[in-house]
Amino acid sequence: MSDIVKTMIADRRRLHARPEEGWCEFETTYLIVARLRALGFEVWTGDRAVDPEHALGRDPKLVEAAAARASAHGVPQVFLDETKGYTGAVGVWKTGRPGPVTALRFDIDALPIDETTDAEHEACRGGYRSEIPGFSHACGHDGHTAVGLGVAAWVAENADKLCGTVKLLFQPAEEGVRGAAAMTARGVVDDVDWFAGAHIGCSARLGQVGVSHHGYLATTKFDLDITGVPSAAGSPEKGKSALMCGAALCMSLGSLPGHSGGITRVQIGKFNSGTGRNIVAEHASLVMEVRGETTEINDYMAKAVESTVSGITAAYGCTYDLRRVGEAVTYRGDEEAVELIKSAAAEVPGVDSVVDMNAKVGSEDCTVLIRRVQEHGGKAVFFYFGCNHHGHHRHDFEIQDETSLAIGWGVFTGFLKRTNGLQAV
Ligand SMILES: [Zn+2]
C-alpha cells in the first residue's frame, strides 16, 4: 500500500470520528486547509470559497456552537477567524505551464444520524466510531474528503509532469443540497475547462465504477414558518390558529398534482406546532421539499408550493415566511469527459467493472457546479466508485475504506493525467 493510500485511510478514519453537519465543518475544513497549505497549494477559505449571500440553509446558532466545539477540540482561533464563519475551502495549484483549468469536487459534511454501536460495524471494530453524539458520516463524505486530500498529495508530487491549473473544491453542506450554490455563486468554477465530481457507493458495489451520462432530479428545499394569533380556547374568534393552517397546508401540499412531463416528488418531512391544550397556536413550522425530472418541472412544483402557501395562510388569517434553503438541478454529462473517466477507471487496480450508471430519483448539488461549468463552455462528468453497504443515510453505513478509497483516488488522478498531464505522468 502506498503512503498516499495509507494517509487517505487514516484521514478518513480521523474525519469519521469527528463528523460535522453542513456549514459546521470547522474541524474538517481546518484539516483540509492545513494539509493543502503544507503541500504548497494556494488555498481559498471563508468568503473567498463561498458566497455568504448564497449560503442556503445555514443556521447561525448551529454554526456558532460548531465553531466553539472545534475550538475546544484544538482548532486555532486564528483559523476560525480566517473562515469568517464559513466552512469549505478551495485548493489551487498553478503549474505555471499553459494548459486547462480542471476542477475536482469533494463534499465534506456529515448527517444527523447516531452511528450504530454494533460491535461488528466497521467503525466500531476499527475504533473510529463517531465521537459526536447524534452525528455520523452516514453517506461517505469522509471518504470523499480523504480522497480529495489524496489527490492533493498526488498533484504536489507530480507537479513537474502537469500543466495548467488544478482546483480542488472541498464543498460544505451537500446534505440538503445547500453548499454548491454558494461555491458556484462565488465564481470558483467560472474559468473551469474540465470538471469531475463523484460519490462513493450508491448503486456501485466494491470494485465497480459507474459513470453517469444523465440523471438526478432537480429539487428545491423549503422552510416555512407560519404565524397566527394566540388566544384562549374558549374564545376562538379572537385567535388565528397557525396549527390548523399548518395542518391544512400539510394536506394541500402533500397532494399537489404532478406533471405530465415527467417524475415529480413532494415531501413534508416535519411539522411542529402548538404549546398547550387550551391555547390557539401562534406558531407552526414545516420543512419540505419538491423534486422534478427536469429543472422546469421542479420549478412548476416549487411555484405550486408558493401559491398554495400564500392562498391557505390567507384563508386562515395567518402570515408566513417561506424560504428556499436548498437547490439542485438535473445532470447531463459531457461525453468527452465521460470517456476520460471511463478510460481512467479501466486502468485503476481493483476495478473489475466500469459501467454506465444514471441516478434516476436522487438529488445531488454537484449538478449546480456542473451546470455553471457547462454554461461557461467547460466539460463535466459525475461518477460513482463503489463500496458494499446496507444503504446510505443509515446508522450502519460502511465503505470498506482500505479498498474503495484507492479506487476513487485512482479514477480522479487518472482523469487529471488525461486533462492536465504532460506525456506519461
Ligand atoms: Zn452523499
Q: Which residues of 353-383 are buried (b: 16+ CB within 10 A; e: fewer)?
A: ebeebebeeebbbbbbbbbbbbeeebbbbbb
Calculate how far, in angstroms, residue 197's C-alpha sits from the geometric centre of ligand 1. 12
Is residue 347 a known part of a binding site? no
Report helix, strand or coil for 86: coil
**Residue 288 corresponds to which cell in the numbers above?**
419540505
Calculate how far, in angstroms, residue 160's C-alpha sits from the geometric centre of ligand 1. 34
Instruction: Please tell me whether residues 297 and 336 are part of one structural domain.
Output: no
Taking the C-alpha atoms of residue 104 and residue 97, their distance in angstroms, rounded to an integer, is 19
Full residue range of the structural domain in which residue 256 is found: 218-327
Strands (E), 165-253: 165-171, 194-200, 208-212, 214-215, 218-227, 231-232
Calculate how far, in angstroms, residue 139's C-alpha sits from the geometric centre of ligand 1. 5
Asked whether residue 312 is assigned to any structural domain, the reply reads yes
Is residue 16 a known part of a binding site? no
Please determine, for residue 116, whether its predicted confidence score (pLDDT) is greater than 90: yes
- Look up the CATH number of the domain holding residue 392: 3.40.630.10
Residue 285: its pLDDT value, please? 98
423's CB contacts (< 8 A; 6+ apart) are none
Residue that is written with C-alpha cell 476513487 in the block: 408
Instruction: Please tell me whether residues 315 and 377 are part of one structural domain.
Output: no
Backbone φ and ψ of 115, nearest 5°: -75, 145
- What pLDDT digit, counting tens, does each position of 41-86 carry? 999 999 999 999 999 999 999 999 999 999 999 999 999 999 999 9
Is residue 389 a known part of a binding site? no
Please say whether the beta carbons of 99 and 163 come within 8 A: yes
Instruction: Please tell me whether residues 381 and 273 are part of one structural domain.
Output: no
Residue ranges of alpha helices (H) inside 18-76 are 26-39, 60-72
Calculate how far, in angstroms, residue 97's C-alpha sits from the geometric centre of ligand 1. 35
Taking the C-alpha atoms of residue 242 and residue 274, their distance in angstroms, rounded to an integer, is 8
Taking the C-alpha atoms of residue 60 and residue 68, their distance in angstroms, rounded to an integer, is 12
User: Mean pLDDT across the stretch 146-165?
Assistant: 98
- What is the distance in angstroms between the CA of the first residue and the CA of the last residue of the chain? 20
Is residue 199 a known part of a binding site? yes
Q: How many domains does the chain have?
A: 2
- What pLDDT digit, counting tens, does each position of 297-322 carry? 999 999 999 999 999 999 999 999 99
Residue 360: its pLDDT value, please? 81
Residue 6: its pLDDT value, please? 98
Among 281, 300, 327, identify where a domain stops: 327
**Residue 200 corresponds to which cell in the numbers above?**
462513493
How many other C-beta atoms can be found within 10 angstroms of the C-beta atom of residue 35?
A: 19
Instruction: Please tell me whether residues 265 and 206 are part of one structural domain.
Output: no
Question: What is the torsional sign of CA 172, 177, 178, 181?
Answer: positive
Instruction: Please tell me whether residues 379 and 295 are part of one structural domain.
Output: no
Taking the C-alpha atoms of residue 15 and residue 8, their distance in angstroms, rounded to an integer, is 10
Among 327, 343, 376, identify where a domain stops: 327
Please determine, for residue 1, whether its predicted confidence score (pLDDT) is greater than 90: no
User: Mean pLDDT across the stretch 217-242?
Assistant: 96
Instruction: Please tell me whether residues 59 and 167 are part of one structural domain.
Output: yes
Instruction: Please tell me whether residues 273 and 340 are part of one structural domain.
Output: no
Calculate how far, in angstroms, residue 175's C-alpha sits from the geometric centre of ligand 1. 7
Asked whether residue 207 is assigned to any structural domain, the reply reads yes
What number of CA atoms fall less than 13 Å from residue 143's CA on the CB side? 26
Asked whether residue 389 is assigned to any structural domain, the reply reads yes
Among 327, 352, 382, identify where a domain stops: 327
Instruction: Please tell me whether residues 375 and 233 are part of one structural domain.
Output: no
Asked whether residue 182 is assigned to any structural domain, the reply reads yes
Calculate how far, in angstroms, residue 38's C-alpha sits from the geometric centre of ligand 1. 28
**Residue 205 corresponds to which cell in the numbers above?**
458495489
The percentage of the chain sitting over the pLDDT mark of 90, rounded to a whole number, equals 98
- What pLDDT digit, counting tens, does each position of 178-216 carry? 999 999 999 999 999 999 999 999 999 999 999 999 999
Instruction: Report the Cα 193 to chain-centroid distance in Å.
Output: 22
- What pLDDT digit, counting tens, does each position of 323-350 carry? 999 999 999 999 999 999 999 999 999 9
Q: What rounded mean pLDDT belongs to the chain? A: 97
Asked whether residue 273 is assigned to any structural domain, the reply reads yes
Instruction: Please tell me whether residues 24 and 149 are part of one structural domain.
Output: yes
Report helix, strand or coil for 267: strand
Calculate how far, in angstroms, residue 275's C-alpha sits from the geometric centre of ligand 1. 36
User: Mean pLDDT across the stretch 146-163?
Assistant: 98
Asked whether residue 407 is assigned to any structural domain, the reply reads yes
Question: What is the torsional sign of CA 172, 392, 323, 217?
Answer: positive
161's CB contacts (< 8 A; 6+ apart) are 421, 422, 424, 425
Residue 423: its pLDDT value, please? 67
The percentage of the chain sitting over the pLDDT mark of 70, rounded to a whole number, equals 99
Please determine, for residue 26, whether its predicted confidence score (pLDDT) is greater than 60: yes
Calculate how far, in angstroms, residue 368's C-alpha sits from the geometric centre of ligand 1. 15
Taking the C-alpha atoms of residue 326 and residue 107, their distance in angstroms, rounded to an integer, is 15
Calculate how far, in angstroms, residue 14's C-alpha sits from the geometric centre of ligand 1. 18
Please determine, for residue 424, whether its predicted confidence score (pLDDT) is greater than 60: no
Instruction: Please tell me whether residues 262 and 184 are part of one structural domain.
Output: no
Instruction: Please tell me whether residues 320 and 337 are part of one structural domain.
Output: no
Instruction: Please tell me whether residues 20 and 90 are part of one structural domain.
Output: yes
User: Mean pLDDT across the stretch 127-143?
Assistant: 97
Asked whether residue 425 is assigned to any structural domain, the reply reads no
Please determine, for residue 118, whether its predicted confidence score (pLDDT) is greater than 90: yes
Vertex 337, ends 332 and 340: CA angle to 5°? 145
- Look up the CATH number of the domain holding residue 310: 3.30.70.360
Taking the C-alpha atoms of residue 307 and residue 304, their distance in angstroms, rounded to an integer, is 5
Is residue 21 a known part of a binding site? no
Calculate how far, in angstroms, residue 291's C-alpha sits from the geometric centre of ligand 1. 17
